[in-house]
Amino acid sequence: MADLSLKDVAKAYGEVKILSGINLEIKSGELIVFVGPSGCGKSTLLRMIAGLERISGGDLTIDGQRMNDVPPALRGIAMVFQSYALYPHMTVRDNMAFALKIAKKSPQNIEKAVENAARILQLTPYLDRLPKALSGGQRQRVAIGRAIVRDPKVFLFDEPLSNLDAALRVATRIEIAQLKEAMPDRTMIYVTHDQVEAMTLASRIVVLAGGGIAQVGTPLDLYDRPETEFVAQFIGSPAMNLLPGTVVKTGAQTTVELAGGGIARSHVPTRPADLGLAVNIGVRPEDFHPTDGAGIFSGTVAIVEALGEVSLLYFTPEKGAPAMIAKLPGTHADLRHRQVTLGADPAKVHLFHAGRSLLYR
What are the structural domain ranges in the chain? Answer: 4-234, 241-360
pLDDT tier at 201, thresholds 50, 70, 90: very high
CATH of range 241-360; options 1.20.140.10, 3.40.50.12780, 2.40.50.140, 3.40.50.10490: 2.40.50.140
pLDDT (tens digit per residue) in 27-84: 999 999 999 999 999 999 999 999 999 999 999 999 999 999 999 989 999 999 888 8
Q: How would you list the strands of the sheet with 350-353, edge to edge? A: 263-266, 254-258, 241-249, 278-283, 350-353, 356-357
CA 121 → CA 189, 194, 264, distances in Å? 19, 22, 50
More confident residue, 321 or 191: 191
For the stretch 220-275, pLDDT in tens is 999 999 999 999 999 999 999 999 999 999 999 999 999 988 999 999 999 999 99
The confidence score (pLDDT) of residue 319 equals 67
Task: Report the alpha-carbon distance of residue 352 to residue 338 in Å, rounded.
Answer: 30
What class has domain 4-234? Answer: alpha beta
**Distance of CA 190 to CAs 30, 144, 289, Å?**
11, 12, 35
Residue 320 pLDDT greater than 70, yes or no: no
Q: Confidence class of residue 162 from pLDDT cuts 50, 70 and 90?
A: confident
Q: How far apart are CA 122 and CA 138, in angstroms?
A: 9
Q: Which residue has the higher pLDDT, 300 or 171?
A: 300
CA–CA dist 215, 224 (Å, integer): 13
DSSP secondary structure, 79-102, as one string = EE-SS----TTS-HHHHHHHHHHH
CA distances from residue 248 to 245, 255, 258 in whole angstroms, order as listed: 9, 6, 10
The answer to whether 76 and 154 have CB atoms below 8 angstroms apart is yes
Q: Is residue 1's pLDDT more than 80? A: no
